[in-house]
Structure 1
Amino acid sequence: ITQSRQRLERLGFFSQVEVDTQPVPGQPDLLDVTYNVEEQPSGSISASVGFSESAGVIYGVGLAQNNFLGTGNRVNVGAQRSDTFTSVNFAFTDPYWTLDGISRGYNVFYRETDYADSDISTFSTDAYGAGINFGYPISELSRLNFGASIEDTTVKTYFDTASEIRRYVEDEGDNAQSLKLTASWTRNNLNRGIMPTAGNYQRLSLETGVPGSDAEYYKVQARAQQLFPINDDQTWAFKFSGNLGYADTLASNDPYPFYENFYAGGLGSVRGFTSNTLGQRTTPAREGGRDRTLGGNVLVQGSAEVLFPMPFVENQRSVQPTLFLDAGNTFLSSCYDVLEEDAGRQQCSSGVDLGDLRYSVGIGLSWLTPVGPLTFSIAEPLNDESGDDTQFFQFSLGQTF
């Protein structure tokens, strides 16, 4: 009975699941079990807003329905726009494609990203592709997923593009057509699908641009969460999370594609630092030019949090305040080559040095408000250095239906 209740809660479709048991008349060894559920919005029209001195206002919208027409199928449609990117995507997933729980999904996307006005290195990419994926349950809590996609990526450079990127394009070309294969293992033992307060979650994923593709590489990433309830009603809890990533080239004579690098900073990463701005800095294209973020092929990230109840709020499942300590950064296992004339100005340092991790502390809030889900943080970086881009206040907002 308890396991069935947890299954319903993990779906994320219901805000409340209650169990009622009644004896069956004339059958002393039987019970009627009734699950009373309160449905919560499973679709969302989302909007996110951010601000940095270099990029200004960044906004985006999307449409998602995790229980399409009550079938349990997931549909996502997005059309996003900002000063730096335009993207259109469509994804459909049938989580119960077969009776034994195998899922099947499709996705099509187009993405145009211009980093010239952001803190990330000055370049742009045009990418489009399509893919298919399958999921297979291996236990009550664990699942395997496999996917394949075909992608075409074109890199554009500018007069002030970093020397590392200009050298990469000079050596490897500005277009890459790749067949990508993905595989992942997920184990979910959280007590709820939304705003959990107990349990654990692990995910291990592998992505590769297979040999024969223009970009041959692999990328491994491991994520984990662990929540320890402090009180009986599970409104207080300790939460620990980690995110580790490593990527490298499969071709001994070719560098790892820089546009596949990991980035760190911002909501969901190291709060208090502007999104995606942590990591190795580039070599400016000219003397006196500005260095920018290059990201890295190694990611180290983690956080420790205390979840606590919101005073004067009746439904604690709709709001989750937190006190947090975040840490993280990205690193390069080896430096990219630069143009010959810029070799004397390269400032790259390779290898993983945990002394370069950035830390921040603060308070955050996730809230399913009447006008949509709201997430914000107020954070103070503890060891920001010259060149780091910090943000005291960060938030995202959406509308549910």
Structure 2
Amino acid sequence: MSFRRKFSLARRIMPLVFTALLVPGLANAFDPFVVQDIRVEGVQRVDPGTIFTYLPVKVGEQFTQEQAAEAIQRLYATGFFSDVTIDTQNDVLVVQVKERPTIASVTFNGMRAFDTEVLNSALAGVGFGPGRVFDKALLEQAEFQLKQQYLSEGKYGVEITPIITPLPRNRVGISFDIFEGDVATISRINFVGNKVFSSSDLRDEMELTTSGLMTWYTGTDKYSREKLEGDLETIRSFYLDRGYLEFSMEPPQVTISPDRESIYITITINEGEPYKVRSVKLAGDLLGLDAQMQEMVQVKEGETFSAANANATVEAITDYLGGLGYAFANVNPNPVLDRENKEADLTFYVDPGRRVYVRRIQIGGNTRTRDVVVRREMLQEEAAWYDANSIKESRDRIDRLGYFNELNVETAPVPGSPDQVDINVDVKEKPTGLINLGVGYGSTEKVILSFGISQDNIFGSGNSLSLDVNTSKINRTLVVAHTDPYWTKDGISKTTSLYYRRTRPYDTRYRNQGDYRVTAYGGGLNFGVPISKYDRVFAGFTYEHNKLELYDPPQAYTDFVNEYGESTNALIFNVGWSKDTRDSAIAPRRGSFTRLAADFSTGDLRYYMLKAQQQYYLPLGRNFTLALNASADWGHTYGDKTFPIIKNLYAGGLGSVRGYEGASLGPRDPRTGNYLGGSRRFVGNVQLYLPFPGASRDRTLRWFIFADAGQVSTTGSSPCYTGIGGNVQDPCGWRYSAGVGFSWESPMGPLEISWGKALNSKPGDDLQAFQFQIGTGF
């Protein structure tokens, strides 16, 4: 045999040798053959047809050693099998497999920080969960994912031990024993390199804080990478807003103590020096609107550069162009630095793009709410020029409906039409029906029970229907109301209401409860007309029937019955105007609220009542808010009768003049000493809201200092009674108080606590320094 022939034989044999060594799944080496049949052995759950799809050969085709190796590789790659063997028996291909076990269940022992669904969802993201094929590599990924969940909550001492329990039918149960450990809290935040601004000033800009009195509630002392990145951007903006254009910051150093309970953050910064603005220019395609855009520039020459003013200029010009139909306008500020003189030349480059109009407005995601309910809030019209201002206001109007959890308004270009866009309004509906039972306690009305059922979007029409029941020591109220916010296409609202109210004396210290009872029931129809974005006028009428039941009553109520009778009927007309620019109805920081109203009654009760209220909210710095409130109510009769006592006004306690007993200001009955109220009331409040220590960013948790003033008196010829034997001195005079308080929109309901000091109390005044009110639902 020649050398060439020997080499050729070796070249044919060596691949088979290597294949046999590298692929142990081949039971025996074999020569190529034509497959007469294929048999699969060892499968339990996997369908044999699945295995056939991974084989590189079919019956009737030739099968080689290389194809056998490829088949083994393919079957292993599926992850279904822990062992694969290929054998041949009389031209029959035999595939023997050993299936991996499947996961029957996943449980967590010792877990308190998360719900089981949260962790199962996290594990599903890495392909681990019940019904999945068990794989040890995947188990390691699952363990890592669980640790990441705990690290995100600041639990750096967490220990996770997986336990694998074999089960019948080739299954396993996975149990994770979890030792959560304590939350690692931020013990120190250090700044290095800051010279102009103190570390405490910079820490005040951050959301993350060190542990404090209220961080158990706010959680701001728990480290989070995302929150830290947000804080770093806030600090960067803080410097850029003050002209430090060369400000830079190194990546923060985050270290943890050996016991994994304390975290230390070090932030190294280079402040640089502040720059002044030497010149401000507009460039680009200004569309001949140079003068109009120039008025929107908020950066002034000679002033210190402010990134906030530059961004406000960009937003103003962009919104202005958007209002003209330029949906994709782009404005870029470009400062050129003169480092020697510390000055900057700022140029705003304007690219308006193409003017477009709206082809179609599309509503999506609403399964119950009718399209018209959303569409009627849209100020942007189809087939009209694009108007960014109208679209923004439309979004706010839809959001104020309160029917949706999520709201997204997007502008989408129309393919093939460079001058057209579609407006897509996608919503996610939330339940708008509510049934609630409640219990509360007030220092004046004592235990307050309530029940309510309401539907704010009944049948998807945008109308609301409600039933409310409240009962306390003093008042019992039942109200049924229906509101149609679009009674007309112009947005005029209509509210129809029926009510029942029963009132007992506010003060019972001089006699047993039940000296008299006033029962009123009636119905009303009111209309509201929006006249601007913030203004609304309203008008309506109410029919009311009143009945008095007297049991050893106060003298004033006996006089009323003698003058008007035990039963009265009245038709009350009302008209008014309100304006609301507050940034929040729950915890406002800026804006104002104005309301003027008048009631005019005819029938048995002939009187009129004028009402006015003004509120201002002024932000003082970042975390302080000064609130001012003034209200005046003035009632009078027309005719020869006195003002009906059942329409009197009250003051004192929470909501008016704190430090005095609730409803105690004003005249007292000369026989029983009851609080009678009056036909004229003035109340003024000054309140400074301060951040709660450790919760400066939580607007629902605040403490405050206050000063109150108020007066309740009579009008016309009605006397100002001074109580039993004149024991109350000057009951109709002004009363003043001051104090401190605490307010919290807690998960249990609104809570307000105040401690007030009466500053000019008179003999006979009823004082109450500590006052509170809380409500809850169950």
Q: For residues 73-112 of structure 1, what are the structure 2 equivalents within 5 Å?
A: 73-112=463-502
- Quick check: 1:59 aligned with 2:441? no
Deviation for aligned residue 1:24? 6.4
Report the 3-state secondary structure (helix = DSSP H, G, I; strand = E; otherwise coil) of the residue aligned with 1:111.
Answer: strand
Residue matched to 1:357: 734
Show CA shifts across 1:300-324 (max 9, x none): 1010011222333375233343221
Distance 1:368 1:380, change over 3 A: same
The equivalent of 1:376 in structure 2 is 753
- Check conservation: 1:195, 1:320, Cα contact below 8 A: no
Inter-CA distance 115–79: structure 2 relative to 1 (3 Å threshold): same
Out of 296, 316, 328, which is 2:698 matched to? Answer: 316
Corresponding position of 1:125 = 518
Q: CA deviation at 1:112?
A: 1.7
Determine helix, strand or coil for the equivalent of 1:281.
coil
Alignment of 1:266 with 2:653, yes or no, is yes
Taking the aligned partners of 1:39 and 1:358, their CA distance within structure 2 comes to 47
- 2:743 aligns with one of 341, 349, 366: 366
Corresponding letter in the other structure for 1:60? L
Q: Partner of 1:269: helix, strand, or coil?
A: coil
- Residues 686, 707 of structure 2: 8 Å contact kept: yes
Partner of 2:147: none
CA–CA separation in structure 2 for the residues paired with 1:157 and 1:148: 29
Q: Which of 216, 224, 248 is 2:636 aligned to?
A: 248
Q: TM-score, normalised by structure 1?
A: 0.80
* Partner residue in 2 for 1:341: none
Q: Deviations over 1:202-258 (max 9, x none)?
A: 001111112xx01111001101101111125xx32111001101001121x111101
Query: Given that residues 83 and 117 in structure 1 are in contact (C-alpha distance below 8 angstroms), is that contact kept between their aligned partners in structure 2?
Result: no
Cα distance in 1 between the residues matched to 2:762 and 2:770:
19
Q: SS of 1:165's equivalent?
A: helix
Give the aligned partner of residue 571 of structure 2.
179
Q: Distance in 2 between matches of 1:380 and 1:35?
A: 53
Count of matched residue positions in the alignment of Structure 1 and Structure 2? 382
Residue range with higher mean Cα deviation, 356-365 or 113-122:
113-122
The answer for the alignment partner of 1:287 in structure 2 is: none
CA distance in 2, matches of 1:117, 1:88: 23
CA contact (8 A) 1:142 1:186 kept: yes
Q: Shift in Å at residue 156 of structure 1?
A: 2.3
1:229 lines up with 2:619 in the alignment = yes
After superposition, the Cα gap between the structure-2 partners of 1:154 and 1:276, relative to the gap in structure 1 and judged at 3 Å, is same
Aligned partner letter, 2:468: G
Conservation of the 8 A alpha-carbon contact between 1:84 and 1:117:
no
Contact 1:10 1:193 in 2 (8 A): no
Q: 1:203 to 1:102 in 2, by over 3 A?
A: same
Greater relative CO (CA pairs within 8 A, separation 6+): 1
Q: Which ranges of structure 2 fall in alignment gaps of 5 or more residues?
A: 1-387
8 Å Cα contact 2:729/2:762 also seen in 1: no
Structure 1 unaligned spans of 5+: 285-289, 339-343
Distance in structure 2 (CA, Å) of the matches to 1:256 and 1:324: 33
CA distance in 1, matches of 2:751, 2:545: 35
Q: Identify the residue that residue 333 of structure 1 maps to in structure 2.
A: 715
In the aligned structure 2, how far is the partner of 1:19 from the partner of 1:178? 49
User: Which amino acid letter does the alignment assign opposite residue 51 of structure 1?
Assistant: S
Please give the per-residue CA displacement for 1:69-116, whole angstroms capped at 9, x wherever unaligned: 676544442222233332222122232333322111111111122217
TM-aligned CA distance change 1:379 to 1:67, over 3 Å: farther
- Matched-pair contact (CA < 8 Å) for 1:280–1:294: yes
Moved more, 150-159 or 216-225: 150-159
Select between 306-315 and 162-171 the one with higher mean Cα deviation.
Answer: 306-315
RMSD: 4.0
Residue 691 of structure 2: SS of its match in structure 1?
coil
Contact 1:9–1:193 at 8 Å: present in 2 too?
no
Match of 1:155 in 2: 548
**Structure with greater Cα Rg:** 2
Counterpart of 2:655 in 1: which secondary structure? coil
| C-alpha distance 173-25 of structure 1, shift in aligned 2 (>3 A) | closer
Specify whether residues 126 and 315 from structure 1 end up closer, same or farther in structure 2 by C-alpha distance, changes over 3 A only. Answer: same
1:249-306 CA distance string (max 9 Å, x none): 121x11110110111012211122222111112211xxxxx42221111111010011
Deviations 1:171-190 (A, max 9, x none): 22111111111111111111
Between Structure 1 and Structure 2, the one with more helix by share is 2
CA distance in 2 between partners of 1:72 and 1:103 (Å): 11
Q: Percent identity?
A: 26
Question: Within 1, Cα distance between the matches of 2:746 and 2:765?
Answer: 33
Q: Secondary structure of the residue that 2:768 maps to in structure 1?
A: coil
Post-superposition offset of 1:20: 9.7
| Cα pair 2:432 2:457 within 8 Å, conserved | no
- Equivalent residue letter for 1:331: S
Bigger mean CA deviation after superposition, 238-247 or 261-270: 261-270
Maintained 8 Å contact 2:669/2:675: yes
- TM-score normalised per structure 2: 0.43
Partner of 1:281: 668
Shift of 1:361: 1.6
Contact 2:499–2:522 (CA under 8 A) maintained in structure 1 = yes
Displacement, 1:38? 12
